[in-house]
Amino acid sequence: MEKLEILEGRKKQVFEKNKETETFDIKCETTSLSGSVSQRACVFCGSRVVLYPVADALHVVHGPIGCAAYTWDIRGAVSSGPELHRLSFSTDLKEMDVIYGGEKKLYKSLLELIDQYEPKAAFIYSTCIIGLIGDDIDAVCKKVSEEKGIPVLPVHSEGFKGTKKDGYKAACDALMKIVGTGSTEGIGKYSINILGEFNLAGEAWIIKDYYEQMGIEVVSTMTGDGRVDDIRRSHGASLNIVQCSGSMVRLAKTMEEKYGIPYLRVSYFGIEDMSKALYDVASHFSDNPEILQAAKKVVSREVGELYPQLLEFRKALDGKKAAIYVGGAFKAFSLIKALDSLGMDVVLAGSQTGNKDDYEGLKGMCDEGTIIVDDSNPVELSKFILEKEVDLLIGGVKERPIAYKLGVSFCDHNHERKIPLAGFIGMYNFAKEVYESVMSPVWQFAPRKGGLS
């Protein structure tokens, strides 16, 4: 494809920062244009990825087989105990179920499963088709819950009812039904919940460890390495720490309204943001100066170790250009800072689900000439990568082969990362991965940038 154009209907979702641009009115938070090759997923996907790491709960996908098959253990969220979340349970709806309804099938499935696995709770995801045929999954869940004595929670995640973000909401609403159902006895004053950290490659363990070193009690990690009983008593914590732009903010807000628990938004990526995530918590608990002292200790020890190593990577990476296209915009902020600490310039920053404030923020952080884009597609990504002579693309599963075909190095900052990229150790891993990919000898054999080199 020689000619690379942006879809007419998408022009307002793409923005290039330069001095002449006075108004910045990026269009976002809409569904993709019909006919576009969108990189986005659906409401169900949003719910499934958020709740997936609750490891001692049953996750039953009510619908035809595909929805369960495609989300079977793709998240990479690890558990320190039960592994029930890694199995794939589906009601596997057939034609007759679509005609006559699938409630009975769901009911039977749940009884069979709960007897067999004795889970702490069950999440029942409704897919596109359930929304259409009108199965009353709330009623089924209520009935099973009464019969079996565990929370059986409907997750209203019909795929067509919005974007992935609406799936986050549905997931938060389901979690909120468990929050507050356990005893808060024994929870101390200096206690937090970690929200929106999914324990990909064990990241939640790293973060939890930092806080614990500061003398902070972590009541629940929602939902990385999640446990139902922890979530039940999470309303006993004094503070919620929310990572990620959208997935868990709703839960934090609801908990604030209902239980008066304030929340802080943080990011665990890069030295700057990771340190801030610890200091912010310390300053929240300013009545206890020991916490701040401990935080300083953690940061200075970790940064002291990390910094010289980063300088080594920086020598090689200085001045290289990076493009970022990730799920949540909040992650993009951290990545820009992290890349900056490696001497790299960000020339494209985009996300699948950012809102206006996010993009305003991105615009503020980026240099002149940077492209800011919402809900991009492969044609655009290729176009920008070629035009901006990018050396590195950071994205998810569908972006990797596109980068490689263009002869450009790649770093997965989504589900497919197999090493932790969060925390100080994560920054080292990130720098190392970026360095190894950018400097790989393979690029000398791979034609690059449209085959021009």
Partner 1 sequence: MLLRHTNKEILEREALTINPAKTCQPIGAMYAALGIHGCLPHSHGSQGCCSYHRSTLTRHYKEPVMAATSSFTEGASVFGGQANLVTAIDNIFTVYEPDLIAVHSTCLSETIGDDLQQIVTKAKDDGKIPEGKHVIYAPTPSFVGSHVTGYANMVAAMAEQFAENTGKPIDQINIVAGWMEPPDMREIKRLAKELGVTIQLFPDTSDVLDAPQTGKHVFYPKGGIRVPDLKSTGDSKSSIALGCFSGEPGAVALDKKCKVPFKTEDIPVGLRATDRFLMRLSKAAGVKIPESITDERGRLVDLMTDMEQYFHGKKVALFGDPDDLVPLTEFLLDLNMKPVHIISGTPGKRFEQRIRAILADTHADANVKNGPQADIFLLHQWIKNEPVDLLIGNTYGKYIARDEDIPFVRYGFPILDRIGHSYFPNIGYMGAIRLAEKILGVLMDRQDRDAPEESFELVM
- Residues of span 161-180 touching partner 1 by CB under 8 A: 161-163
Smallest gap, in angstroms, from Cβ of residue 127 to partner 1?
Answer: 8
Using only the alpha carbons of the chain, give its radius of gyration. 23
How many residues make contact with partner 1 (CB under 8 A)?
Answer: 85
Q: How far is residue 74's CA from residue 418's CA, in Å, rounded to a whole number?
A: 12
3-class secondary-structure state, position 409: strand
Select from 42, 175, 336, 366 the one that contacts partner 1 (CB under 8 A): 42
Note whether 35 binds partner 1 by CB under 8 A: yes
Nearer to partner 1, 39 or 275 (CB): 39
Nearer to partner 1, 94 or 189 (CB): 94
What values do phi and psi take at 348, rounded to 5? Answer: -145, 130
Note whether 101 binds partner 1 by CB under 8 A: no
Query: 2 to 31, contacts with partner 1 by CB under 8 A?
Result: 5, 7-9, 31
Token pair of 27 as six digits: 């269009």
Nearer to partner 1, 97 or 197 (CB): 97
Select from 51, 114, 124, 128 the one that contacts partner 1 (CB under 8 A): 128
Characterize 220-254 residue by residue with b for buried, 16 or more Cβ atoms within 10 angstroms of its Cβ, and e for exposed.
bbbbbbbbbebbbbbbbbbbbbbbbbbbbbbbbeb
Note whether 33 binds partner 1 by CB under 8 A: yes
Select from 16, 29, 98, 321 the one that contacts partner 1 (CB under 8 A): 98
Smallest gap, in angstroms, from Cβ of residue 262 to partner 1?
Answer: 34
Select from 12, 80, 87, 307 the one that contacts partner 1 (CB under 8 A): 87
Smallest gap, in angstroms, from Cβ of residue 65 to partner 1?
Answer: 5
Note whether 452 binds partner 1 by CB under 8 A: yes
DSSP 1-19: -------GGGGGGEEE--T
Part of the chain binding partner 1 (CB under 8 A), chosen from 103-111, 143-151, 201-209, 221-229: 103-111
* H/E segment holding residue 194: strand 191-197
Nearer to partner 1, 105 or 331 (CB): 105
Note whether 117 binds partner 1 by CB under 8 A: yes
Exposure on the CB side of residue 265, measured as CA atoms within 13 A: 13
> CA dist 342 to 29, 176, 310, 313, 329, Å?
31, 40, 7, 7, 20
According to DSSP, the residues that pair with 191 across neighbouring strands are 217
Nearer to partner 1, 111 or 425 (CB): 111
Q: How far is residue 223's CA from residue 204's CA, in Å, rounded to a whole number?
A: 9
Smallest gap, in angstroms, from Cβ of residue 161 to partner 1?
Answer: 6
Part of the chain binding partner 1 (CB under 8 A), chosen from 126-134, 225-233, 249-257, 272-280: 126-134
Smallest gap, in angstroms, from Cβ of residue 30 to partner 1?
Answer: 9
Nearer to partner 1, 38 or 213 (CB): 38
Query: 289 to 348, contacts with partner 1 by CB under 8 A?
Result: none
Query: 130 to 149, contacts with partner 1 by CB under 8 A?
Result: 131-133
Smallest gap, in angstroms, from Cβ of residue 90 to partner 1?
Answer: 5
Q: How far is residue 332's CA from residue 327's CA, in Å, rounded to a whole number?
A: 9
Q: How far is residue 365's CA from residue 363's CA, in Å, rounded to a whole number?
A: 5
Closest Cα partner for 276 from 264, 286, 285, 293?
264
According to DSSP, the residues that pair with 84 across neighbouring strands are none
Confirm if 253 and 318 have CB atoms less than 8 A apart: no
According to DSSP, the residues that pair with 393 across neighbouring strands are 323, 410
Smallest gap, in angstroms, from Cβ of residue 12 to partner 1?
Answer: 15
Question: x/- string (CB under 8 A) for partner 1, residues 43-82?
Answer: xxx-----------------xxxxxxxxxx-x--------
What values do phi and psi take at 333, rounded to 5? Answer: -55, -50
Q: How far is residue 134's CA from residue 174's CA, in Å, rounded to a whole number?
A: 19
Smallest gap, in angstroms, from Cβ of residue 144 to partner 1?
Answer: 13
Token pair of 172 as six digits: 């938060």
DSSP character at residue 32 = P
Query: 373 to 412, contacts with partner 1 by CB under 8 A?
Result: 378-379, 382, 397-398, 400-402, 404-407
